[in-house]
Structure formats: C-alpha cells, structure tokens
Amino acid sequence: MPSKKSPNPIDIHVGSRVRLRRMMLGMSQEKLGEHLGITFQQIQKYEKGTNRIGASRLQHIATVLKVPVAFFFEDAPGTPEEAAKGFEEGKPATYVVDFLSSSEGLALNKAFVQIKDAKVRKRIVDLVKSLADDEPVS
C-alpha cells in the first residue's frame, strides 16, 4: 500500500494564511465552517494543508474573511516575489505568521496597534528586546 503523500507547500501556506486571517478576526473554525456550509474538521484540514482548497471555495473563504484571494498567496513558496529574494536571510514571513497564529501573538499585536503614541510603542519594543536578551538559551 503506497504511503500517504505529504501536503504541497503551497497548500500548507494557503491554509496557514486562512488560519492567520481567521484568528485576526477572532473567528472560530466552527464559525468559518458555518459560513461555508462545512464542518470545523474540514477547516482544520484546510488550515493544515492536508486538504487542498478549490478555487470557488477559496473565493468564498476570502469573501467571508474580508480579504482578496491574493492575501492567501502572499510570500508563498515558489512565487516570483519569493524567488526574487534569492539568498536573503531566513524567511521572515514564516515567523510572523507563526507569531500571529498564536493566541499570545495575536493578543499582543491587537493591543500594540491600539497604542497611538509612537514613542510608547518604541519603548515597548525596546522593553521586549531587553527581556528577550535576558532569556537563557536552552
């Protein structure tokens, strides 16, 4: 019996962007599923990239999440934008998506963007950097 094929990197990326946007809106997998007429388990599979999202379904997801379809492909592996980066250091989009996909990252981001004073925001960034420097390396 052949082994199950691993998910395509584009499907994983698109799924992670669906999850990111859903979490930014504070929407549950169940609620997104209700809007689309599918189960939250199907949403989980889409977000992990284990199930590919068809074009019409992706358009519907974009409408529900209030973003253009192109949002899901930003910084996707193999795109011309990514190829143009060449040998740049790391992939910043990956850690940003990971950070914003966590409940702590999302909460921190929502609170941070509500701070109007640029000096205060800079001091918070400086504080977080100093705290990160104090962390022992495991």
**pLDDT of the residue at 112:** 83
Amino acid found at 6: S
d(CA 11, CA 24): 20
Tell me, yes or no, if the pTM score tops 0.75.
Answer: no
Longest Cα separation, the chain: 61
Sorted by where each starts, the structural domains of the chain and their CATH numbers stand as 1-90 (1.10.260.40), 102-138 (no CATH)
Per-residue pLDDT tens digits for 35-83: 999 999 999 999 999 999 999 999 999 999 999 999 999 888 876 655 5
Which of the 8 DSSP states describes residue 33? H
Per-residue pLDDT tens digits for 80-114: 655 555 544 444 456 666 777 677 888 888 888 78
> For 93, what's the count of Cα atoms within 13 Å in the CB-facing half-sphere?
16
